[in-house]
Homo-oligomer: A and B are copies of this chain.
Amino acid sequence: MRGETVFKRTFNKTLDYLTANEIGNTIPSENVLTEILKASRTTVRKVLEELQARKIIKGTAAKRVIVRHAKPTEYFPDNETVATSAQVEKKFMEWMLRGDRKAGDIVNGLELTRQFGVSTSAIREYLNRFSRFGLIERRPNSSWIIRGFTKEFALELFEVRELFETRSAIAFTSQSESSPAWQSLRKLEKEHRSLLKEISNRYHDFSDLDDRFHRLINNASNNRFIVDFYDIISLIFHYHYQWNKANEKQRNRAAILEHLDYIESLLSRDPQRVQLACKSHLNSARKTLLSSINVQALTPDEEQR
């Protein structure tokens, strides 16, 4: 009943691994591969069997050798490597954020079932998990209701974000000098500077950097609720910015500069400076999100003007 997504993903990963090694080399033991590939040995063995069958590797279990590197066509297609649950997430976010859902609209689970081509249980499970993002609400024995990706949502999200991140940033400054967080911060600073230099070509890379930077700060809170909350922000930003490309380059450039200022304040360990930098960065992040909600909320009619 389970599509072999883990197997296929692991298989592709193994091809990458083999390609990175010379032909003729011996392959690590199954146990070691388990570590490298982050899958169970059951799956690893299945992969090795398939590799033997395809004559990509040869030899007995005791000593397996790379015969050749795989052709790109031998990889499993990407869409077969993602679990149903992950597919549902992607489809649902698209349906939710791009479909112009209004507050009060009803989510018809069965309709999603048909639209997404997955079982009722998959939809049901996702809606349950998704409810923590505050965009839908359940009515027992009845359907889900959309709360809407509205201005209010963004404001509430940022109210909590600011509360949490200010606190985390201050906690960050009081970490001991030996904490690995400082090293990560310096590394991130470098990445920011190098991205800034090549901003014209690489501006898409910012969103990943942004995510890692804020996550590092929030982690300093050492509070599971604060850390978990960042998942909501991360998801919203991930999907929303994927579709709102207006002024992306300028926006990202400005954000990098703010980050650098923010990083400097953290390195100074001066709580007041940190608070200021944090607040001012989150303010512009809020503005960006709000403006893109307004764009989206326009009806086709209004957009023409």
Contacts and interface: CB of A to CB of B under 8 A. Distances in A.
B134 A228 contact: yes
A18 B240 CA distance: 53
A70 interface: no
Interface string A135-171: 0000011000001000001001101100110010000
Interface in A55-84: 83
A140 B129 CA distance: 14
9 contacts: A6-B141, A121-B121, A132-B132, A134-B225, A159-B223, A160-B225, A160-B226, A163-B163, A163-B167
Contacts of A223: 156, 159-160
A156 B124 contact: no
Contacts of A132: 132, 228
A288 interface: no
A153 B225 CA distance: 10
Contacts of A156: 222-225
Nearest to A43: B141
Given A121-B121, A156-B222, A225-B232, 14 more contacts: A83-B140, A125-B125, A125-B128, A128-B129, A132-B228, A134-B224, A134-B225, A147-B224, A153-B224, A157-B225, A159-B225, A160-B225, A160-B226, A163-B163
A229 interface: yes
A232 B140 CA distance: 19
Interface string A91-107: 00000000000000000
A164 B157 CA distance: 13
A242 to B, nearest CB: 23
A229 B225 contact: yes
A228 B157 CA distance: 12
